[in-house]
Amino acid sequence: MKSKNKTHIVKVNELVGPYCVTSSDGKATSNQLIHLVESGDQLIFDFKNVDIFSTSYFKGLFNCLHSEKDIREIEERIKTLNISELGDKIFTQVLESFKYSLNHPNSTSIIVDDLINSEVNSL
Amino acid sequence: MKLIRVNRINDDPGDFIYLFRLRELALGYNENIRLNFSECNFLRPNAVAFIAALHDEINSGKYSCSIDWQSISPRLLTNLQQNGFCYYFDKSIRPWEGNSIRFRKDIFKNGDFENIIKYLQEHCLGRSYLTIPPKSRHEIVSNLLEVYINSNNHSMSGNTVYTCGQFFPGLKYLKVTILDLGVGIPFNIDRIVNKPELVDAQLIRVAFLKGITSTGQLGGNGLPQLYEFIKEYSGTLDVYSGKGLVRGNKAGLWLHKHEQSFKGTIVHLTLKCDIIYS
């Protein structure tokens, strides 16, 4: 059965310029797409002419998208295009980290508990 | 007016602790301060950034802080002129290109990072004697930017950040110090994890964990990302905040505690340049 869903290419540079830096930029990108996310369409983020990336940008983007749809569902419907190696690395890292936090809500607490025993030397 | 003599300051942990003591001393006098450099023949960029921040901090309060320019040796003065420290106080003394990464104070308004990106690209990495492929340049800028974003998001310092650095062509490394006088990492992390047993260094260590969340919001990837980058470039990352220091390098993360508290955050980076140096 053929899907009726469309594919949209989102030119990120036109939304936020050459720097994907702040969580506000991430939210701004997301806000432009929320209606597409809700409709179940495929989204391709085109990062052509975007040179600088930060984790904050992707955090803002995913947090905002996740507020509308489950991030695992979103992951299946978003792809990247023309993204630099660094951008791709940060994109993947933030997404994986997000999913991990959702799947293991107590993981932070467990790791932090372990830190209590970590060695601290006096200067 | 109280005279405070500043010693020569390097960038070892002991030098940072000296700076923290200096700050406590200056703030504790509750009178006007004059910084004297007659016993100082050397200031690393971390000290330059710190002293400028201290100067502003005192002047933003009830008392004033001034610098005894006459007490500065000609050699040190040249260095301070070159790196833009003097320009910060007197706009007629323009800095010039050399091995310094120009001193800079940023107040981020509305999350506008464009100026700092340009600074990092042009003054930090755009030096004529450094040939860095655009890909690496973007990578370095993106990673350094994480420090500014963290500071902007979490420091509660009025979004003010101080930066200074230097290239060491002979040793082929560059050093950059980025600092704010905000609430500090231990304060922020403690609010999230609520573990009174953790000392400050351990709380800073928590910030190196990926995906630390507070209220279900995704967070905490900036410092881990920066650390990964530092390891890749065989560098060193020192993070001072509160009574803690976390040092990260290829071999791992090392936690240290000290008695002199520092309200604020300092990120001090050393990058080996032989990978990117022409």
Residue B139: closest C-alpha in chain A: A86
Question: Which residues share a beta bridge with B248?
Answer: B237, B253
* Res B166: pLDDT: 92
- Residues in chain A, pLDDT under 70: 1-4
d(CA B102, CA B99): 9
Q: State both tokens at B139.
A: 């990578």
Q: Are residues B113 and A21, on separate chains, in Cβ contact within 8 Å?
A: yes
CB distance B210–A93 less than 8 Å? yes
For chain B (278 residues), the mean pLDDT of every run of 10, in chain order, is 97 98 96 97 96 97 97 97 96 89 87 86 71 74 87 76 91 90 91 88 89 51 84 91 97 96 95 64
Find the distance separating the first CA and the last CA of chain B, reported in whole Å: 50
Beta strand B236-249 with B252-272 is antiparallel
pLDDT score recorded for residue A19: 93
Burial (CB count <10 Å: 0-12, 13-18, 19+), residue A96:
middle
Give the tens place of pLDDT for each residue, B168-216.
Answer: 888 888 899 999 999 999 998 888 888 889 999 999 998 888 766 544 4
- Give percent above pLDDT 90 in chain A: 33
Interface of A with B in 36-95 (CB under 8 A): 51-56, 59, 62-63, 66, 84-86, 90, 93-94
pLDDT given at position B219: 52
What is residue B259's three-state secondary structure?
A: strand
The residues near B70 (Cβ < 8 Å, ≥ 6 apart) are: none
Contact yes or no for B255 and A108 at CB 8 A: no
The answer to whether the beta carbons of residues B223 and B267 sit under 8 Å apart is no
Nearest-angstrom CA–CA distance, A67 and B229: 30
**CB count in 10 Å sphere of residue A110:** 9
Q: Which of B139, B141, B219 sits opposite A59 (nearest CB)?
A: B219
Q: Pick the residue from chain A with its C-alpha nearest to B245.
A: A123
Is B213 in Cβ contact with A108 (below 8 Å)?
A: yes
B217: region left, alpha or beta (phi > 0 left; psi from -120 to 50 alpha): beta
Angle subtended at Cα B54 by Cα B75 and Cα B71, rounded to the nearest 5 degrees: 30
Q: How far is CA B126 from the centre of its chain?
A: 20
The whole-number pLDDT of residue B176 equals 93
Q: Is B41 left (phi over 0), alpha (psi -120 to 50) or beta?
A: alpha
**Tally of CB atoms within 10 A around B27:** 16
The structure tokens listed for A53 are: 């990336």
Nearest CB to B17; choose among A24, A53, A123: A123
Which of B78, B50, B80 has the alpha carbon at shortest distance from B65?
Answer: B50
> d(Cα B176, Cα A115) in Å, to the nearest integer?
28
Using one digit for the tens of pLDDT, what is the confidence trace for B103-117? Answer: 999 998 766 788 899
pLDDT at B129: 58
What is the rounded CA–CA span in Å between residue A31 and residue A8?
Answer: 15
Contact B163, B171 (CB under 8 A): no
Q: What is the residue type of B248?
A: G
**Chain B CB contacts of A111 below 8 Å:** 209
Identify all chain B residues contacting A84, using CB atoms and an 8 Å cutoff.
135, 138
Of B141, B195, B202, the CB nearest to A52: B141
Q: Return the amino acid letter for B23.
A: R
Q: Identify the helix (H) or strand (E) that includes residue B189.
A: helix B185-193
**Of the partner residues A54, A86, A115, the one whose CB lies closest to the CB of residue B149:** A54
Structure token pair of residue B148: 């500014």
Across the interface, which of B142, B199, B256 has its CB nearest the CB of A123?
A: B256
8 Å CB contact of B225 and A118: no
Kindly report the nearest CA distance between residue A40 and chain B, in angstroms: 23
- Contact state of B113 with A22 under an 8 Å Cβ cutoff: yes
- Strand spans (E) along B50-112: 65-67, 100-107
Q: Smallest Cα–Cα separation from A75: which of A42, A46, A119, A104? A: A42
* Among the partner residues B139, B217, B255, nearest to A63 by beta-carbon distance: B217
For chain B, how many helices (H) and strands (E)? 9, 8
Q: Do A115 and B142 touch (CB under 8 A)?
A: no
- Chosen from B221, B233, B238, B240 to mutate, greatest number of chain A CBs within 10 A: B221
What pLDDT is attached to residue B214?
A: 43
Shortest CA distance from A97: residue in chain B = B211
Q: Measure the CA angle with vertex A87, ends A82 and A89; round to 5°.
A: 120
Q: What is the dihedral angle through the alpha carbons of A66, A70, A76, A78, rounded to the nearest 10 degrees?
A: -20
> Is B197 in contact with A116 (Cβ distance < 8 A)?
yes
3-state helix, strand, coil split of chain A in percent (to 5) is 55, 15, 30
